[in-house]
Amino acid sequence: MKSLWVKLMVVLIGLAIFSYTEVWATDWTLYSRDDEGIRYYDAEGMIRPSENTVEVWLREEYTDKGVKEMVKRLGKRYENIGYTMTLVEIKCFDKKIQTLSLIRFSKEGNIISSGSRNGVWKYFVPGSLLYEAVCR
């Protein structure tokens, strides 16, 4: 009986771990790195509503220097920032980008701030690594 209980617990723990990784697994692809942070895009989760348009989630993980820059720009509230998730829309032919949603997380994964912006298009800087990665 004890052996059956142990086997059942191993199976349940295995299913829980497998389910957890499936829910949170994202194919983050590196596109940029510097002394302030590391930037990724969700290659598998990209949506192409039209031939010209791409919607994609970005993730930026901050270094100590990046955290200091965030605090300098946005205030002490960001002293514990770990990463930012941003949903962007990109018009590849026009070389434009706009932010649809932005969520800033603490190092522990708690939301520090979030918001949505729509309608503010910006042009990519020539040679942008994100543009090259997503619109190639």
CATH number of the domain where residue 129 is located: 2.40.128.710
pLDDT in tens, 26-85: 789 999 999 999 999 999 999 999 989 999 999 999 999 999 999 999 999 999 999 999
Residue 1 belongs to some domain of the structure: no
pLDDT in tens, 68-101: 999 999 999 999 999 999 999 999 999 999 999 9
* Residues of the domain holding 77: 27-135
Which of 135, 85, 94, 93 lies closest to 115 in space, CA to CA? 85
Residue bearing tokens 């942008």: 128
Residue 11 belongs to some domain of the structure: no
Residue 74 belongs to some domain of the structure: yes
Number of independent structural domains in the chain: 1
Residue 14 belongs to some domain of the structure: no
Residue 12 belongs to some domain of the structure: no
Residue 108 belongs to some domain of the structure: yes
Report the distance separating Cα 97 and Cα 111, nearest Å.
Answer: 24
- DSSP, collapsed to helix, strand or coil, labels residue 82 as strand
Residue 119 belongs to some domain of the structure: yes
